[in-house]
Amino acid sequence: MSIFTGSGVALVTPFNENNEVNYEKVRELIEYHISEGTDSIIICGTTGEASTLDDLEHRALIKFAVEVTDKRVPVVAGTGSNDTHHGVQLSKYAEEVGADALLCVTPYYNKTSQEGLYRHFKAVAEAVKIPIILYNVPSRTGMGFTVETVKRLREFDHIIGMKDASGDISYATELMRQIPDLDLYSGNDDIIVPMLSIGGKGVISVVANIMPKQTHNIVDLFNNGFTAEALTLQLSMNKLINTLFIDVNPVPVKTAMNILGFGVGALRLPLCEMKEADNDYLNSVLNEYQLKESSYE
């Protein structure tokens, strides 16, 4: 039940001048990513400001992405919640409208026990049949999966993988040692190659919003035996990748996209624009990488 190998873009959510979802811009972005070789569209994730979308927007955005993508690449819908009932309902809806898989984050703020975590995902797994990718990002949610909990959850055939954004390669290595059939995706763009080297399937990527072809190529080169070339490309991109985290994600990447002419609009509070000094630094790094407005046009 593997969903994709390669680069899945954690797509930003564009807003118009009224701070409403700009669906035509979503269409443009999806077409751009398919043309640039992105392997999967990840909709309504952290980078997509899902926590500021109301329920109608969240559902409409998933449905729209599925319709526009039209099975050309898989659509993975972010349906995680800190309320199990709400997460179940969102997940069932995503399945109904044709999402290929779900990306489900640990229940933030509640900081449940591992038993509660298991029961939370068990409830989601029992409500749907499409593949589920667990999302481990303890820096945001205040908790993470133990290896033992992932092993228990992997007993559900359609809980197939994990996006690991812990940045802990030792943890990821132990996951793969004990659960070798887990589809592991790097949640950190700066360690795609290390994650591939322990058996990872690819990346769910922020930088792919502005460098989709290169992000795809890292995985493609590695998987075709060109490991040195993959590493060289990884290292060459890491200054830009790090720059996209000088403020909380997705503030820098959305700012970068606007500089480059993508026209994705503003952020929703509580996220706001970067400090002037950070904005200047981001501009300088984009120039260093020769990323100009023409990159998108």
Residue with tokens 């797509």: 11
Residue of 93, 118, 135, 185 marked catalytic? 135
Instruction: Please tell me whether residue 49 adopts helix, strand or coil conformation.
Output: coil
CB atoms within 10 A of CB 231: 18
The answer to whether 289 is a known catalytic residue is no
R_g of the chain, CA atoms, integer Å: 18
The answer to whether 292 is a known catalytic residue is no
Q: Phi then psi for 37, rounded to 5 degrees?
A: 95, 10
Residue of 25, 163, 201, 254 marked catalytic? 163
* Alpha helix segments (H runs only) across the chain: 23-35, 55-69, 84-96, 114-127, 138-141, 147-153, 169-178, 192-197, 212-223, 227-243, 251-259, 276-288
CB atoms within 10 A of CB 218: 30
Q: What do you get for the CA distance between the two ends of the chain, in Å?
A: 36
| CA quadruple 255, 283, 9, 148: dihedral sign | negative
| C-beta of residue 77 within 8 angstroms of C-beta of residue 62 | yes
**DSSP per residue over 94-153, as a string?**
HHHTT-SEEEEE--TTT---HHHHHHHHHHHHHH--S-EEEEE-HHHHS----HHHHHHH
- Contacts of residue 198, Cβ cutoff 8 Å, sequence gap at least 6: 169, 172, 173, 176, 184
DSSP 8-state code for residue 260? T
- Contacts of residue 3, Cβ cutoff 8 Å, sequence gap at least 6: 40, 74, 76, 100, 101, 131, 133, 160, 161, 183
Separation between Cα atoms, residue 87 and residue 138, nearest integer Å: 18
Residues designated as active site: 135, 163
